[in-house]
Structure 1
Amino acid sequence: MKKLLWATALSLSMMGGTAALAATPSGVLVVAKNIDDIVTIDPATAYEFSSGEIVANTYDRLVQYEPEDPEKLVGGLAESWKVSDDGKTITFTLRSAKFQSGNPVRPEDVIESFRRVLTLNKSPAFILTQLGWTKDNLDTLVKKVSDKEVALTHTGAFGPAFFLNVLAARPASVVDSVEVAKHVVNNDMGHAWLNGQSAGSGPFKMTKYAASESVTLQANKDYFRGAPKLNVSIQHMKEVGTQRVMLEKQDIDIARGMGSDQIKALRGKADITIGEYPQAAVHFVSLNQKTPGLQNPALWEAMRYLVDYDGIANKLLAGQMAVHQAFWPKGFPGALNDTPFKSDPAKAKEILDKAGLKDLSFDMDVISSAPFLEIAQSIQATMGAAGIKLNLVPGTGAQVITKYRNRTHQMMLLYWGPDFIDPHSNAKAFAYNVDNADDKYQSTTTWRNAWLVPELSERTMAALKESDPAKRLKMYYDLQKDVQAQGPIIVMFQAQDQVAMRSNVKGYVHGATSDLIFYRNVTK
């Protein structure tokens, strides 16, 4: 592994840096992580964590989140845009930018990039089809206006803020259609070729991908925001003990994916920094309203005080979960970060006694692996202290999720992550249900827990349609507050990545999703 790593890093250093004898090459950032989840790196089809990170660093979108402020949506390839009076059409003016091939970015490239997504029609395509786009109607809804302008129209019942967030998602990445056309094989629209190199305008060009071995990213000297200072070598390293040893020996600059034991051993070392970054998945306990004994709001309130939030996050899981009590993750625009609930068995017992609730016993389904079992056992103990008996029902992830979808559980410990960076993605899941019938399946926590919420549902759709960005985020913020305080869903934690790096590494951005991990401003 070390021999392979140095061969890659040294070849990169020849592009713009010199090798040091006791450390990684000065012109290369060497990152160790598990990359065996990659199936495809084509931005039209990429749907894995590692491939999302590569796409984010090699391609641009019309609008996007940037390392300078990953919570703020800014112009990417679009230097400006104008929204029509009805909010259905946005006309984008493209900045003068070049693809890594040297070809100029044109409206035609934007249109053909969207066409590729809709025609290939793989997993991420649904993000664009939300706009009412299909491969058959695209030419009527996405049009070139001039050599620098492209007009995009949606057919949905929502405002421009949602529209813009969809356009900032991974499948909206713009590819060099001229270059890709040269590499089409058997009508694959260049898909096979794009799994080996990038054809974007982003800050880096992917020059090599070896499955379960490495990814090589070369700084784009012509990037419109300025060339990155370093090239990047991402090395596949699944063994966390090896990551720790190589980080300590300066053979790598950043180690990602280590367990709490390795992180604990590295804390306090003067030449190593530990970064803690909240991730998008929120973890919660839900109470199925088809179970009569779980329908009392007083029980929901009491249970919020029967979780040892701090103990689980900071001691049991040693920082790999962060306390978070709202359905939209911290790190995203509009997130509610208040954590009003603390472990207080005495207060919970008082609430239960006042409501006349006693001799309570429920089954709680849980995935039979870490960290779910550890969390469940802690909750079992604290709820037992207030007289609520929890019978844990372990199962595989598939078993637990299938039971959840069938609404045959009583209580459930599970997690949820957004499909794209817009609060509607989670509001629809946690605050919307207008039809509670068993034969009206919905992929939401509200339906799966038989929680019918007409008033919250109306507010969820009103927020989706709101055209004023600030007002819209406030509407989602208020929805989170109400679900947090009043719903039969107890959001407890947000997953948190712990990243160890050499102390000379600066400017690394590790956002709440893989699409918000940025290397452009890194120095060392």
Structure 2
Amino acid sequence: MTTGSRWGAWLLTFLLMLGAAPTLAKTPSDQLIIGMNMNNLLTLDPAAMTGNEAVGMMVNLYDPLVELDPKRLSNVRPALAESWQISPQGDSIRFHLRRGVTFHSGNLLTAEDAVWSMRRVLHLNLAQASVWKSYGFTRDNVDSHVRAPDPWTVEITLPQPGDPQLVIYSLAALGNVVVLDSKTVQAHAQNGDWGNRWLTTHAAGSGPFSLEVWQAKDRLTMVRNPHYWRGEPKLARVIFRHFQESQTLRLMIAKGDIDIASNMAVADVRALRDDPAVTVDGVRRGTLYYVAMSMNEPHFANPKVREAVRWLIDYQGINKALMPGYGVLHQRPIQSGMAATLPDPGYRLDVARAKALLAEAGYPDGFETTLRVLADQPFINIAIAVQSTLMQAGINAKIMTGTGNQIYGAMRERRFDMLVGRGGSGMEPHPHSSLRSLVYNPDNRDSARLTNFQGWRTGMYDPQINRMIDQALVERDPQKQQADYQAIQQRYEQLIPALIPLSQMVDSVVVRNEVLNYIPHPSATTFLRDVSKRPAGGEVRG
């Protein structure tokens, strides 16, 4: 047991003793307190953010042009844009902005702010630029392809043939092209950094809440924006609190010290399912858990070694024992629930087959390697399970744990051997969303820095599959497009990929019944503007 685990267990026992008191703690009726693990929250800059935790905060500090309906993802709803049109040729989109919206600073929001915000993503070329680069945008062409013909109109022209509806989905789902207060951000720019250093710990939005304070790995506090264009939010304050230990989260929400808990261990979620004071919401997301290998590492450059690893994962055992509340078995790069998604190929643990493949590859006795993983659940348990089955074929994988920056940072720098991770976007209701993040790699050079593409991170490069993905995106016949996406999945399996999906994410969120109108969003863009809390003796959460 780690020092942190012993401390967590001691704290749980101590607080349970205190829990014998007849009354429960109550959070203020006008404040929402959300407990979560914030290890992966590294920056508040929308252009640089990674992880669902950051997305969930951005959409409440900022406003996008459009948003996705949490109950029907294919339904795009107006936000800052009251309406929009796709050109008859399908090569441009024109958004018409609502008037009178102001930023938290008091500055008037105009089309110039929206255009500047999107240009900023490409010019900075940080994590969130990868999505837009896949549509053909670059820092060299974005200024001519994203324009404001007047103060209330934004026009986006696609640099290359594509699906304009997917661009709209991306604007709605990703949270990276929220509209920033360009005047405020530019006032804090240093040495041409587009305000990146300042926005790491600050915000400049128009959303329902404004940033009060962020203390890394401690708390982030938002306060109500009384001038919000949709109407004043019901909550005066939203507080996100960092908890490393799931047991502590469980006790805190059971006692009423927090209102919502996420990132909890399976055992703690199960223990709360019978608590009449809370509701457990399970939301399936498009993000996938995976085992990744680096093609820059000589062992994994050999396809027979990668195939051996494919047969050295106990997919069924991992999903049955470790993933309830975290994920469900899934072995395809396109998320489940889409017409284009093929049935799972049926991979399972087969040590004898893996040993034969390793012998053919020239490694009859296996080899030494490293396996990086976050020191959080369920990642660490997946890694331990994978380590155990790899060892049965002679692959000795030393587990290396760390924070999000240490683990995913090494992957973004292409300096890793193996890694247990989670990714794939899947936020947009379109097959391309998953393929873009997990498979697509249009430029395998180190200098390309396509850091938000797992295909680039692993060094998996196949010009044919890139062309297939490009062609499927522009196919206008729905049946032909579906067949194209199925062919891509078949090609992916034939390549013996460096990234092996094993489970599709399920986000289990525990919510106290005093909380009303909290709707967890499948794309992680959970809106808090309409959330409220009932007073004592009021109606229960439905």
Q: Does 1:389 align with 2:393?
A: yes
- TM-score, reference length from structure 2: 0.70
Partner of 2:290: 283
Deviations 1:145-187 (A, max 9, x none): 3453222223235332443344343331113446x27955768
Partner of 1:238: 243
Q: Does 1:427 align with 2:439?
A: no
Deviates more, 1:475-484 or 1:448-457: 448-457
Partner Cα separation in structure 2 for residue 259 and residue 381 of structure 1: 21
- CA deviation after TM superposition for structure 1 residue 357, in Å: 8.8
Partner Cα separation in structure 1 for residue 464 and residue 355 of structure 2: 27
Partner Cα separation in structure 2 for residue 401 and residue 196 of structure 1: 19
1:144 to 129, 132, 148: 148
Q: Within 5 Å, which residues of 2 pair with 1:350-361?
A: none
Amino acid at match of 1:266: L
Partner of 2:44: 41
Deviations 1:356-381 (A, max 9, x none): 99996644652377656643554576
Partner of 1:8: none
- CA deviation after TM superposition for structure 1 residue 268, in Å: 1.8
Structure 1 pair 294–258 and aligned structure 2 pair: CA distance change class (3 A): same
- CA deviation after TM superposition for structure 1 residue 283, in Å: 0.9
- CA deviation after TM superposition for structure 1 residue 254, in Å: 0.8
Partner of 1:367: 372
Amino acid at match of 1:522: V
Does the 8 Å contact 1:89/1:153 carry over to 2? yes
Structure 1 pair 396–157 and aligned structure 2 pair: CA distance change class (3 A): farther
Partner Cα separation in structure 1 for residue 214 and residue 300 of structure 2: 55
Partner of 2:157: 153
Partner of 1:92: 95
Amino acid at match of 2:261: A
Partner of 1:252: 258
Partner of 1:323: 329
Q: Does 1:458 align with 2:485?
A: no
Amino acid at match of 1:154: L
- CA deviation after TM superposition for structure 1 residue 247, in Å: 1.3
Partner Cα separation in structure 2 for residue 103 and residue 399 of structure 1: 39
Deviations 1:221-253 (A, max 9, x none): 6444x6544344224232434433321221211
Secondary structure of 1:518's match? coil
Size of the aligned set, in residue pairs, is 490
Structure 1 pair 124–402 and aligned structure 2 pair: CA distance change class (3 A): closer
Partner Cα separation in structure 1 for residue 39 and residue 355 of structure 2: 49
Partner of 2:221: 215
Amino acid at match of 1:244: R
Does the 8 Å contact 2:294/2:414 carry over to 1? no
Structure 1 unmatched runs, 5+: 1-19
Amino acid at match of 1:520: R
- CA deviation after TM superposition for structure 1 residue 505, in Å: 3.2
Partner of 1:508: 518
Partner of 2:12: none
Partner of 1:16: none
Amino acid at match of 2:511: M
Partner of 1:124: 128
Partner Cα separation in structure 2 for residue 65 and residue 476 of structure 1: 23
1:270 to 272, 276, 281: 276
Partner Cα separation in structure 2 for residue 265 and residue 21 of structure 1: 18
Partner Cα separation in structure 2 for residue 478 and residue 334 of structure 1: 13
Partner Cα separation in structure 1 for residue 50 and residue 274 of structure 2: 37
Structure 1 pair 290–71 and aligned structure 2 pair: CA distance change class (3 A): farther
Deviations 1:251-284 (A, max 9, x none): 2111223334433443322212233344524313
Does the 8 Å contact 2:288/2:422 carry over to 1? yes
Partner Cα separation in structure 2 for residue 250 and residue 379 of structure 1: 37
- CA deviation after TM superposition for structure 1 residue 105, in Å: 4.0
Q: Within 5 Å, which residues of 2 pair with 1:160-239?
A: 160-168=164-172, 169-177=174-182, 180=184, 184=188, 198-202=203-207, 204-211=208-215, 212-218=218-224, 222-224=228-230, 228-239=233-244
Deviations 1:90-115 (A, max 9, x none): 22222346235566543222223334
- CA deviation after TM superposition for structure 1 residue 502, in Å: 1.3
- CA deviation after TM superposition for structure 1 residue 451, in Å: 6.8
- CA deviation after TM superposition for structure 1 residue 218, in Å: 1.5
Does the 8 Å contact 2:122/2:138 carry over to 1? yes
Q: Does 1:494 align with 2:504?
A: yes
- CA deviation after TM superposition for structure 1 residue 461, in Å: 1.8
- CA deviation after TM superposition for structure 1 residue 476, in Å: 3.4
Partner Cα separation in structure 2 for residue 77 and residue 230 of structure 1: 21
Partner Cα separation in structure 2 for residue 439 and residue 116 of structure 1: 20
Structure 1 pair 471–250 and aligned structure 2 pair: CA distance change class (3 A): farther
- CA deviation after TM superposition for structure 1 residue 206, in Å: 1.3
Structure 2 unmatched runs, 5+: 1-22, 534-542
Deviates more, 1:445-454 or 1:45-54: 445-454
Structure 1 pair 114–392 and aligned structure 2 pair: CA distance change class (3 A): same
Amino acid at match of 1:518: F
Partner Cα separation in structure 2 for residue 439 and residue 245 of structure 1: 48
Does the 8 Å contact 1:407/1:449 carry over to 2? no
Structure 1 pair 407–464 and aligned structure 2 pair: CA distance change class (3 A): farther
Identity %: 28
Secondary structure of 1:494's match? strand
- TM-score, reference length from structure 1: 0.72
Secondary structure of 2:333's match? coil
- CA deviation after TM superposition for structure 1 residue 462, in Å: 0.6
Amino acid at match of 1:114: M
Secondary structure of 2:515's match? coil
Deviates more, 1:476-485 or 1:457-466: 476-485
Deviations 1:422-460 (A, max 9, x none): 554642565557999999998777688887755433311
